[in-house]
Structure 1
Amino acid sequence: MVSTGIPLDTAAIISTALEGILYGFSVLMFMGTMWVSIYHKPSTNHPLALAAILLLILSTAHLVIDIIRLEDGFVKYRDTFPGGPVAFFQDISQPTFVTKNLIYALQTMIGDGVVIYRCYAVWQSLWVIILPSILWCGSSVAALIAPYYASQATGGNIYTNQTAQWITVLFVLTLSTNLISSGLLVYRIWMTERRVSANRATNGTMMPIVHVLIDAAIIYSAALFTILICFVCANNAQFIMLDMIMPIISIAFCMVLIRLTPRKITPSYFPTFSMEINERERRDSQQYPMKPLQVHVSQWIHNDGME
């Protein structure tokens, strides 16, 4: 299959520039996430804070490797690599290309794993996350196998190599995992909101949480779907989107944490909305038990001195 779209050397420049811009936003989002986590220390979820740190580290490493690839393609091997910069960026067996794809694999595994964790935190049921977990395992395998086949490539571009099959499987499974997990998460919150809205004593609502989760899912899913379409069509624009999705994953992740944490919904960041109204009443009754009321009546007699 012949690649279409912009030349690979041009795509490398554009993708690295756009990735750098989005990386700057992801750093700001990460700083906001850490500030919120420290300021609201009692409600900090340490595994999720660790996930945010790992996502930023992986995004940083990916950007550094892209910068190294630019230096190698346009400066170091400009006159010595057969075919020039275009052939250099087309060679998927380059160690830098394999490494950056391994980093993407880890970033995807963490991002999808967090989405599944959110789904479990809301449903509190392992049965619900069986399908997303299976899809996550499949995408993880594909994400690790694809760089291996890329490293073993002896020629041709990414669209004609066996790597293309595993990359296609990776994008399909990752997109499915994100859509299913996010759909289950939003559905659970929405159904719980409908169930408790009629009995709520205050004006609070969980719909802003739904909007935040939907926004994060749309950002991530739209980027994945664009990459999948470009890859299937053998369009080199997929290289641009693939580099951009690294900071996008971190941005979407931190966006949810920043928007939800200040609300202090529950001590674990992601609330368990499956709690019923009667359970809340039972908990309140245990916290404030009814006690017998003792009434003391005092009688006051006025004596005016008359018999």
Structure 2
Amino acid sequence: MAFSAAESKLVSIFCQSVLYGVYVVLFTATTYTLLWGNKARRSVRRHNMLFVSFLIFVIATMHMATNFSRIVLAFIIHADAPGGPAAFFNELSNFTQMFGSTLYVFQTLLGDALVLYRSYLVWERKLWIVAFPCLLLLGSTATGIGILYAFDKVVPLADVFVVQLGHWITAFFSMTFTTNVICTSLVAYRIWTLNHRRKHGDSMRRHALRPALLLIVESGACYSATLLALLILYNVDSWFQYVVLDSVSPIVGIVFSVIMLRIASGVSTEEGETALLGESGVVNSGGGGVQLSVLDADPDQKTVAV
């Protein structure tokens, strides 16, 4: 049986709460490592990483609080109003809806910008590599503003799948998904070539799954997969899209907290050099400056240049 709007919002607040709890743990660990970790203290970008981490956390927390307030309003305050909770969720110009959507659009654009910047760093600050994703980010910004404008002007009690909104939302989801696919692919390819350039063939065959998992973590591929699910669900007019939509906010925080935690703890670098999961060891970066731990290397090797 298909989910109704009210049922989907109840499931979404549960999923968002669980993911938010995971995010709080990761955010705490990331903050502790950035503030007191020895490797993080030597990083010239430690303060920038702290600022971005706190910004994502504040937005995710505000989004969580807004969604919870909408659940209370729909199922308690407006429970006996004409149309019930479903009618409340279809009031797209309602302040809580507009505020929550603004937070979502802003955090999505922030997540896209971080993925793009990660690609820029990994590819040694080559602007031409990220030129097209930059244009897509500008397009996402324009369509995001268009969504918020359409919410305010849409026919009263129209649902989120109405034509006036459909074009804006589909364009926004499509562009942000394309941005993430391109940037994720760029980061994954670059990290793969950096970390497997020298004598890792035998190791890769023995641990074929582990490098793949590492690439998923380092490139933020989970975020791209979530956006794909959201795009599909919206275009088939499924109310379950609310579940994925509300999960995006903590997922953005989880993905980038994991990446920042790896960088701050010295397991990875901003430029994409990272240790493969495997046997204990020490690895030196190609430039000899950064040491990474936990290497998927031959047992008789103490160090390997990445």
TM-score range normalised by the length of the shorter chain: 0.7 to 0.9
- Evaluate the alpha carbon distance shift between residue 228 and residue 272 of structure 1 in structure 2; reply closer, same or farther with a 3 A threshold: closer
Residue 202 of structure 1: aligned partner: none
**Count of aligned residue pairs for this structure pair:** 262
Matches within 5 A, 1:1-307: 5-38=2-35, 39=37, 40-43=40-43, 44-80=45-81, 82-123=82-123, 124-155=125-156, 156-195=158-197, 197=198, 211-215=213-217, 217-263=220-266, 269-271=269-271, 280=287
TM-superposed deviation, 1:113: 0.6
- Evaluate the alpha carbon distance shift between residue 45 and residue 252 of structure 1 in structure 2; reply closer, same or farther with a 3 A threshold: same
- Residue type at the aligned position of 2:106: L
User: In structure 1, the residue corresponding to 2:42 is in which secondary structure?
Assistant: helix
TM-superposed deviation, 1:95: 1.5
Query: How far apart, CA to CA, are the structure 2 residues paired with 1:264 and 1:187?
Result: 18
Cα displacement string for residues 210-238 of structure 1 (whole angstroms, at most 9, x for unaligned residues): 74442353311121111111100000000
TM-superposed deviation, 1:50: 1.3
User: In structure 2, the residue corresponding to 1:270 is in which secondary structure?
Assistant: coil
- Evaluate the alpha carbon distance shift between residue 15 and residue 91 of structure 1 in structure 2; reply closer, same or farther with a 3 A threshold: same
- Evaluate the alpha carbon distance shift between residue 208 and residue 134 of structure 1 in structure 2; reply closer, same or farther with a 3 A threshold: farther
User: In structure 1, the residue corresponding to 2:221 is in which secondary structure?
Assistant: helix
- Evaluate the alpha carbon distance shift between residue 23 and residue 264 of structure 1 in structure 2; reply closer, same or farther with a 3 A threshold: closer
Bigger CA drift: 97-106 or 45-54? 45-54
Query: How far apart, CA to CA, are the structure 2 residues paired with 1:253 and 1:243?
Result: 17
TM-superposed deviation, 1:184: 1.1
Residue 203 of structure 1: aligned partner: none
Query: How far apart, CA to CA, are the structure 2 residues paired with 1:114 and 1:143?
Result: 17
Q: Is residue 6–residue 237 contact of structure 1 (8 Å, CA) maintained in 2?
A: yes
Query: How far apart, CA to CA, are the structure 1 residues paired with 2:133 and 2:27?
Result: 26
- Evaluate the alpha carbon distance shift between residue 186 and residue 250 of structure 1 in structure 2; reply closer, same or farther with a 3 A threshold: same
Query: How far apart, CA to CA, are the structure 1 residues paired with 2:27 and 2:160?
Result: 33
Cα displacement string for residues 155-194 of structure 1 (whole angstroms, at most 9, x for unaligned residues): 3211114112111111111111111011112222323334
- Larger-Rg structure: 1
- Evaluate the alpha carbon distance shift between residue 118 and residue 225 of structure 1 in structure 2; reply closer, same or farther with a 3 A threshold: same
Q: Is residue 226–residue 244 contact of structure 2 (8 Å, CA) maintained in 1?
A: yes
Cα displacement string for residues 232-261 of structure 1 (whole angstroms, at most 9, x for unaligned residues): 000000011100111011001111112233
Q: Let me know the Cα RMSD of the aligned residues.
A: 2.4
Per the normalisation by structure 1, the TM-score is 0.79
Unaligned runs of 5+ in 2: 201-208, 274-285, 290-306
User: In structure 1, the residue corresponding to 2:265 is in which secondary structure?
Assistant: helix
Q: Deviating runs (4+, > 6 A) in structure 1?
A: 207-210
- Residue type at the aligned position of 1:129: V
- Residue type at the aligned position of 1:56: F
Query: How far apart, CA to CA, are the structure 2 residues paired with 1:115 and 1:209?
Result: 20
Q: Is residue 27–residue 257 contact of structure 2 (8 Å, CA) maintained in 1?
A: yes
Per the normalisation by structure 2, the TM-score is 0.79
Q: Is residue 115–residue 184 contact of structure 2 (8 Å, CA) maintained in 1?
A: yes
Query: How far apart, CA to CA, are the structure 1 residues paired with 2:252 and 2:137?
Result: 16
Unaligned runs of 5+ in 1: 200-206, 274-278, 284-307
Residue 300 of structure 2: aligned partner: none
